[in-house]
Amino acid sequence: MKKRTLSAIAILVVVLFMWCRDSLMAQDKYELKAPNGISFSEIRGYETWQVIAPSYRTDNNELRAILGNTIMINAYKDGIPGNGKSFPEGSVIVKIGWSERKSPVFPAAHEPDVLKRVEFIMKDSRRFPSTSGWGYARFLYDAKTATFTPFGKDDSFAQECYQCHAIVKAKDFIFTAYPQR
Ligand code: HEC
């Protein structure tokens, strides 16, 4: 065999090896579960859900997009929670958080930088009676390893979420409103 053919084969073998290694090592986030049993896969496809609102936390400089499934979006459109009614069973609301940076091409504009978290709250009253019907889950993202990790040592983490969200008990425990667009 010619030298050139041999080196072409060698390159091919290396490329194939790297490709296999990457695809074997890539994490399937949807296999992860929060310590209270909620699976990441319960929001499968959330990447394309409708936007409810953006938000920004000044204490950790995090930009957020808050998204809802169809049940949640329709509930807002029906006037919930302003009309005193609760979000229906099956409502799911997702928050995606990124660190922020100044736009490299227009520094007055700030934009998402690195993905930090995906978390969500889902209404299932039978499943989550101790937190007023809402189930909480948070998955923290580490950009260095490109992996998500479920938040919380055990299922008591949800009480922490619930206690702070109780500030807006009158709005069925949901902070974010659906602004005009
Ligand atoms: C100390 C208070 C506090 C704690 C603890 C907390 N949250 Fe929140 N959460 C907020 C505030 C304030 C907002 C609205 C502003 C924003 O998006 O940052 C919010 C918004 C959200 C939203 C978007 C829906 C909404 O209510 O507006 C989700 C989803 C969410 N939180 C999930 C969680 C989960 C899961 C946990 C626990 C692992 C948790 N939160 C713990 C304060 C808290």
pLDDT digits (tens, 9 = 90+) for 85-113: 999 999 999 999 999 999 999 999 999 99
CA distance 102 to 91: 34
Model confidence at 24, pLDDT cuts 50, 70, 90, reads low
pLDDT, one tens digit per residue, over 126-157 is: 999 999 999 999 999 999 999 999 999 999 99
Q: What's the chain's Rg over C-alpha atoms? A: 21
CA distance 152 to 14: 40
Hey, which of 175, 176, 178 would you mutate to test ligand 1's pocket, going by the most ligand atoms within 8 Å of its Cβ?
175
Lining ligand 1 with CB less than 6 A are: 55, 57, 64, 66, 93, 95, 119-121, 136-138, 151, 157, 160-161, 164-165, 174-176
Cβ atoms of residues 84 and 105 within 8 Å: no
Cβ atoms of residues 172 and 86 within 8 Å: yes
Tell me which residue has its CA closest to atom 2 in ligand 1. Answer: 164
CA distance 69 to 44: 11
Structure tokens, 140? 């923290």
Tokens 């930009």 belong to 63
